[in-house]
Structure 1
Amino acid sequence: MNILIKNANVFDGKHAALQENVNIVIEQNLVKEIVGGSIPEDDYEAVYDANHHTVIPGLTDAHVHLSITGNSLSDGWRIDEKAVRSVRFAKEMLLRGFTTVRDAGGITFGLKKNIDNGFLDGPRILPSNSMISQTSGHGDIRASHAEERITDRIYASADLNSKLSVIADGVDEVTRAVREQLFLGASQIKLMAGGGFSSAYDAIWTVQFSLEEMKAAVCAAADFGTYVMAHLYTPASMQRAAQAGVKCFEHATLLDEETARIVADQGIWITPGPQLGREYPTTGLPKSTIKLIEDFRNGERSSTEWIDKYNLPILYGTDAFGDIHRAAEIQLDDFRLYKSRFGSFRGIVAATGNIHELIQLTTYQNPYPEGKIGVLEKGSFADLLVVRGNPVEDLDILADAGNIRFIMKNAAVYKNTL
């Protein structure tokens, strides 16, 4: 199918200056060219007038959990329930303008397959498959001490048996766990390398996986041409992960200057999601929890300073999971927080052009090698948005879904209010 989008002001995902009053020529599902001047329209099966609005690459959320759509630990969902609920979660993300997501751990194999073959609507998925955790780590999501390991890889826990996460201890188990995710088509591997808020038996400050275990994961991923991303918050966790060769830090909220220098020297990516930078209700919480929240808010402010000072490469990630209504509230609104922390240009590049760079780390594990993701140029997938205003200058524009007038993914139109 040949498509023309005319009268477009194009942000290419990399440069602040827009290409003004140009035409985007789409052939099949790829951008063939972006050219100025007048083009005869008779040769095109569909013509859309951008009316001098800004056209940007489709957005990417680099940290979501498509199969975590509620408090499954208390709801006790079966694996088929998780899969069914993820269908709605994925479609709603696409309708918010996210044409690609990087899933940071969960059950995505069937969802991704059926989106890619056109049976379901949703974004492109860069899957990690199961999160890999040590025993008593952030991915050990047993609800109580009563949920035991019955035999190897079989647990009295619906979440663990669904492979939302897998538990691996020692070099051999970690290596096997990584290879199992690669067998299912993981484009990258997700390790739980430090404590968290949502798991019961690992304090925030815990450092998880030994150096040898993490090196084993990095080596097994590298053997398949890809990289490891890691959940972590503290300098101790980050420095061990950096030593092991982890290439992407998720959260990194308590980043200090010493660690920032290491990150800069090694070219590590950071997804600095603003979990506790959002308004967080503290009424009725214990004083220790309130203090932890304040510590993390202060850490987020400090980490922003070091990210800016050392010009660290960042990705846009919201950690969208849980209540789908909450995800709907935060996924676009977090652009306001990225603007306040990093400025409009760095914020929008984090959700577009930087994703294009990150995907290069997946080499032949990239599930979408036929086109470019995150940029708008010759050879890009026809994944794009038409936006009222210029989000390169004011990123707040993207926080309002009403400003996104047109959504196209793979040359198919999912929204058109032009």
Structure 2
Amino acid sequence: METQKGKNWEVLDIELAKQGELNVKLAEKCMGSLMILRERLSKEQTFKGLRIAMCLHVTKETAVLVETLVAGGATVGITSCNPLSTQDDVAAYLAKRPGVSCWAYKGETIEDYYRYIGYVIGIRPHITIDDGCDLVTEIHLKHKELIEDIIGGCEETTAGINRLKNMVKDGALKYPVIAVNDNKTKHLVDNYYGTGQSTIDGIIRATNTLIAGKTFVVGGYGSCGKGVALRAKGMGANVIVTEVDPFRALQAKYDGFLVMPMKKAAPLGDIFLSVTGNRDIVTLEHVKLMKSGAMLANSGHFDCEVDVAAVREFATKVVRVRPMMEECYLPSGRSVYILGEGRLINLAAGEGHPSEIMSTSFCGQVLACEHLVQNKGKLKNEMITLPEELDLEIAKIQLKSMFVEIDELTEKQKKYMSKWREGTKNEDEEEK
């Protein structure tokens, strides 16, 4: 694909910057909590003189995060964490912003994808912000000389957390990384509400299919899977859940869903959605059992959850019937549809999570970066959870931005909750 290049950028069309600005300004109006943090950071200059490398989805919401970090004194280099998730107008907008370098376009080749990660690493970052751990991995494998200057990193998603856990287990992680994905606010808001809505939106944009009356198979019942299953059920689908975790399978059953192995679900489903962070959730053997017209989609980050390569190779013919919908004709005479090339359907075919959702998530990224700076040299080279008080602050800021007030514990309630002797006696009797 023909791209346009500048000194510190490469995008599809730099003339899209004006439209990108309009979209970013629209997002800002919906991201009140992040704007509250921007106001504070711009005064305190928390990140003055620091270089931050980002490998995130290049969306209008991410642009608001980038400009928040820049307002706090940072210079930022950004590329996409997924070849299909870039919003080209936003990339053009970021390419023209002071303090920002941007290399990204929608539909990147794998060669360009890793070339751009190399460019981002080339800013010699003090902090890394990752979504999937490709940036951290490339630094550890090919740029070890930069590690001594890196204060720490942040990871946004489950798939990246799994890779980081394995790095820690192998003794390979050489700087501290905060697991932003593990924030309570991230699980509750982003994974559950964000993935639930945006995944259904992506499937509908890709296909214009009716959800009501269809059998919708959800592979995985973590926070994301729960959100998708609930939204599919709410739109009239008959939902089947597949799981490997007995606890999650039990919860899915008690939540009212059918639970069974994927092999049994395969002949029943009309729409299959994998959302686990693992590979081979939907394999060729499963596809061979499916009815004609079944749709295969993924919302679990990497494109190995549905074995797209095996299905394409097995097919006698593959036809792109819509921009994000491929029909694969099978030797049996049946055909199945691959949506969004097996990549994140909510970003490949849609625009990702709503701005309000990402405001909460990106507050986590900002406070994680601030925590790294404030504790420079004090943290171990391991995966770290954001302190609970900072997670609580995110929830408070989000509520404030929504003009929501809540009760506070009285002193008497606090005293009661701190005691262990009290049982059936009342407090007056106990004091006597």
**TM-score, scaled relative to structure 1:** 0.34
Q: Which has the larger share of strand?
A: 1
**TM-score, scaled relative to structure 2:** 0.33
Larger Cα-atom Rg: 2
Q: Which has the larger share of helix?
A: 2
